């Protein structure tokens, strides 16, 4: 049986106040003392303080650490043939264990993104520079892939948000401050790909990846965000320019974008040239 210990108080209005929760009673006692000092310095008044013991059996559990991005790494050997662009030989490691090796027909960029679905681990990869694929990180096999196309969307990087990318463990399941919004995302069922559109300018656009059926061999990509130019750089990870949150069950995403405007009129100029 799991337990947490929440520091609570009541003001004159009898409204329940929470000052946070800890995993042990000793930590909660220290938080109670600290909270009393902080409220006193601010001139506040709490009529009654106490520590509430809460049974957390069956509640949400934080995903294990290390995260997939911390656990799985690549070692990349760039290869060049005179007269051709650079290619990459890639070794994929789970800690010190070599999972598999593969080749990519372009430079590596940010085209390895490990993620989890339950207890299984996968990675978004792009052995062909015009197609997104999914690798099973237990076997090293490609289990789902787009069809390569010489005039398609060329992946530069991937991002599958892990729970730890969006949250931390400062608010514990079962406490007053916890909500169902804090459980999302935790399924590894969607992600993002950014890259270039063949024949377009050199800026990077972002598209959505549906990963719900990768274990059945299917991956889906769509342009639901429209023609967005990302403001990023080659070595940035997705969570630096893609922010996610949930509020009352509604999911949100915020991108760091580039926009070009006419200085005199203020009119936006960087619209989709294909529309």
Tens digit of pLDDT for each residue in 169-216? 999 999 999 999 999 999 999 999 999 987 777 789 999 999 999 999
Structure tokens at 138: 């237990």
- pLDDT score of 101 more than 90: yes
| Same domain (yes/no): 51, 72 | no
Distance CA 169, CA 28 (A): 15
- Establish if 260 belongs to a structural domain: no
| Same domain (yes/no): 51, 79 | no
Domain count, the chain: 2
| Same domain (yes/no): 208, 174 | yes
| Same domain (yes/no): 107, 34 | no
Instruction: State the burial class of residue 169 (Cβ atoms within 10 Å of its Cβ: 0-12, 13-18, 19+).
Output: exposed
For 31, the domain range is 3-55
- pLDDT score of 38 more than 60: yes
- Establish if 243 belongs to a structural domain: yes
Distance CA 207, CA 226 (A): 8
Share of the chain above pLDDT 70, in %: 98
- Establish if 99 belongs to a structural domain: yes
| Same domain (yes/no): 165, 249 | yes
- Establish if 51 belongs to a structural domain: yes
| 3-class SS string, the chain | CCEEEEEEEECCCCCEEEEEEECCHHHHHHHHHHHHHHHHHCCCCCCEEEEEEEECCCCCCCCCCCCHHHHEEEEEEEECCCCCCCEEEEEEEECCEEEEEEEECCCCCECEEEEEECCEEEEEECCCCCCCEEEECCCCCEEEECCCCCCCEEEEEEECCCHHHHCCCCCCCCCCCCCHHHHCCCCCCEEEEEEEECCCCCCCEEEEEECCCHHHCCCEEECCCCCCEECCCCCCCHHHCEEEEEECCEEEEEECECCCECCCCCCECCCCCCC
- Establish if 45 belongs to a structural domain: yes
Q: Are residues 124 and 193 in contact, defined by beta-carbon separation less than 8 angstroms?
A: yes
pLDDT at 235: 81
| Same domain (yes/no): 48, 107 | no
- pLDDT score of 82 more than 90: no
- pLDDT score of 272 more than 90: no
Structure tokens at 93: 């490691």
| Same domain (yes/no): 165, 193 | yes
């Amino acid at each position: 049986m799991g337990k947490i210990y929440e520091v609570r108080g009541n003001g004159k209005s009898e409204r329940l106040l929470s000052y946070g929760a800890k995993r042990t009673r000793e930590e909660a006692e220290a938080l109670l003392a600290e909270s009393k000092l902080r409220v006193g310095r601010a001139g506040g008044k709490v009529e009654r303080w106490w520590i509430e013991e809460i049974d957390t059996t069956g509640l949400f559990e934080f995903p294990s650490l290390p995260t997939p991005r911390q656990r799985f790494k690549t070692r990349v050997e760039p290869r060049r043939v005179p007269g051709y662009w650079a290619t990459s030989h890639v070794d994929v490691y789970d800690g010190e264990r070599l999972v598999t090796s593969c080749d990519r027909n372009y430079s590596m960029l940010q085209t390895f993104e490990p993620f989890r679905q339950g207890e299984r681990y996968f990675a978004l990869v792009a052995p062909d520079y015009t197609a997104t694929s999914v690798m099973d990180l237990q076997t090293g096999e490609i289990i789902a892939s787009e069809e390569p196309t010489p005039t398609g969307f060329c992946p530069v990087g991937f991002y599958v948000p892990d729970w730890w990318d969006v949250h931390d463990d400062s608010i514990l399941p079962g406490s007053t401050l916890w909500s169902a919004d804090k459980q999302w995302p935790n399924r590894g069922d969607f992600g993002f790909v950014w890259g270039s559109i063949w024949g377009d300018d050199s800026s990077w656009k972002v598209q959505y990846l549906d990963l719900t059926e990768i274990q059945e061999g299917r991956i889906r990509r769509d342009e639901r965000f429209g023609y967005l130019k990302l403001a990023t750089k080659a070595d940035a990870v997705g969570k630096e320019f893609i922010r996610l949150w949930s509020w009352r069950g509604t999911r949100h995403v915020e991108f760091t974008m580039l926009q070009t405007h006419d200085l005199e009129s203020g009119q936006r100029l960087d619209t989709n040239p294909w529309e």
